[in-house]
Chain A
């Protein structure tokens, strides 16, 4: 599936990960030499509920095709409210995306625990595939 996409047209994905929970999973994917598209870039934050809509919109503005939030989910060390607040960030941003004529499906979120290497890789492969189809 990846081979059919020309290299320079591969969709670019920005991942917001978290220092304690999802970043270790993304590292683990590399450790286990699991491959995902190299057009995936990561910015790590303390907690996924700290992501600002303006950053996401900025990423689309600058040429990213998709933004993926590798959320803490229930493992968040800062408390249970993380899940709800992160979802609010997503829905608020998706509203803004609609207003700007951006497909809200270009913003995705999933909880990635610190050993969820395989789920992360699958998310990246599937998201890349979905984004290249929609283009």
Chain B
């Protein structure tokens, strides 16, 4: 798809194409884009994924209010999609951001081919039905398969298909059956140079990948899953017909959570606390007790960080519902023949090593910095903190300010953050950006 030329010229002050380049279309990027667009600024929002919504759109319910994540994200997503002052490029990345003398920036947006004409596709999925290729569905975190031509997930925005060319066998069936002539294999990578007056980094976080901790057997023992895989199992658009063990489809009745997997752990290079794992685990535990009324849920923790508004009460609610909390550090996990798992852990209260059997283990994985953020800038010009998050150079007074004046940070790109904090941080970034634009580019 081509960018219309009219959008590329003179839509913002100072001869720039846009007032703001927002990188990342998760909840923080959307919030920042909407704030600025509502102030009348022209925003270019670039998202590397096929859909807006970031990580949040994949969550089940969210703590501590237990409202459904989709119910909160999708209205924000559609408001963003429709806003006349926001131009969105999905499946695109940003490179070579460079600051100009007059306070503006140039950058290159690389739009990867979707092999689908976005405005033609109606999301009818006839092609998906016919596609003969099945590969692991990354949006269900590998628990089921998807086709090579596919709608990313049912509440994706835009809700249109994309072709995974790496796994396509080039049979051409999709093109043959498409009623809207939307398939286009001639699409190529497009490089779009843009000039903008400011930049917001809303590039989010990565999830810790627990294969590194071999003692826990993730990958080898199929009934050891990550919290994100459990999150998917708890969503109405879940991969299975209920909460089931990935190994054999058995309904679990004794589930363990291992907190601080990949957080507060020097051995994996991440000594800080991820801020959200305690709470999302307590939330999942409560949802599991609802979905599996006969099940036991045990949370192995070091400290319960229930610090936010309503969190402590939510933690007490979990205790009240019968979630068991064990202060203990899990050392190693073994698999039994029947797929059950033996956890060896140090019981901190009694100071002894114990063993416990569970039939499903959830690793509450932590948050890590997104390593791609720094690479978007020419000459290594963006400063990072000790954990590779975007450095906040004036954290107390200007929390969105980065080492480059005119580049601001929103959401978990600057450190682990829950959803309310990400929204507030995005609000801060939009204010600081608006002031910057006024200071340098208006009048």
Contact = CB atoms under 8 A, between A and B. Distances in A.
Q: Quick check: do A and B touch in the complex, using CB within 8 A? A: yes
Interface of A: 20-21, 24, 28, 31-32, 74-75, 77, 113-119
Interface in B147-161: 154-155
Nearest to B236: A115
Interface stretch (B68-76, B305-313, B369-377): B68-76
Interface string B227-253: 000000001110000000000000000
Contact of A114 (B65, B66, B68): B68
B67 interface: yes
Interface of B: 65-68, 70-71, 74-75, 154-155, 235-237
B67 A115 contact: no
B67 A75 contact: yes
Given A28-B155, A32-B154, A115 B65 contact: no
A113 B75 contact: no
B65 A117 contact: no
Contact of A115 (B66, B75, B237): B237
Please list the 10 inter-chain residue pairs (A to B) with the smallest Cβ-Cβ separation, ordered nearest first: A114-B71, A113-B68, A75-B71, A115-B70, A115-B236, A75-B67, A114-B70, A113-B71, A116-B236, A118-B236
Q: Looking at B65, B70, B71, B237, which has the most chain A CB atoms within 10 Å of its CB?
A: B71
Contacts of B68: 75, 113-116
A28 B75 contact: no
A114 B154 contact: no
B359 to A, nearest CB: 25
Q: Looking at B154, B155, B236, B237, which has the most chain A CB atoms within 10 Å of its CB?
A: B236
Contacts of A77: 75
A114 B72 CA distance: 9
Q: Looking at A20, A115, A116, which has the most chain B CB atoms within 10 Å of its CB?
A: A115
26 contacts: A20-B71, A20-B75, A21-B71, A24-B155, A28-B154, A28-B155, A28-B237, A31-B154, A32-B237, A75-B68, A75-B71, A77-B75, A113-B67, A113-B70, A113-B236, A114-B68, A114-B70, A114-B71, A114-B74, A115-B68, A115-B71, A115-B155, A115-B235, A116-B68, A117-B236, A117-B237
B278 to A, nearest CB: 23
Contact of A74 (B67, B74, B155): B67
Contacts of A115: 68, 70-71, 155, 235-237
A50 to B, nearest CB: 18
B196 to A, nearest CB: 33
Contacts of B65: 74
B291 to A, nearest CB: 12
Contacts of A24: 70-71, 74, 155
Contacts of A20: 71, 75
Given A75-B71, A113-B68, A113-B71, 7 more contacts: A24-B71, A24-B74, A113-B67, A115-B68, A115-B236, A117-B236, A117-B237
Nearest to B159: A31
A90 B237 CA distance: 30
Contacts of B235: 115
B180 to A, nearest CB: 17
A125 B272 CA distance: 50
Contacts of A32: 154, 237
A74 B71 CA distance: 11
A24 B57 CA distance: 14
B313 to A, nearest CB: 15
Nearest to B151: A31
A77 B79 CA distance: 15
Contacts of B237: 28, 32, 115, 117
A24 B71 CA distance: 9
Q: Looking at A32, A77, A113, A116, which has the most chain B CB atoms within 10 Å of its CB?
A: A113
Contacts of B74: 24, 114
Contacts of B236: 113, 115-119
B101 to A, nearest CB: 46
Contacts of A113: 67-68, 70-71, 236
A32 B75 CA distance: 20
Nearest to A33: B125
B93 to A, nearest CB: 29
A100 to B, nearest CB: 36
Contacts of A75: 67-68, 71
A84 to B, nearest CB: 17
A21 B74 CA distance: 10
Contacts of B155: 24, 28, 115
Nearest to A25: B236
Nearest to A116: B236
A114 to B, nearest CB: 4
Contacts of A114: 68, 70-71, 74
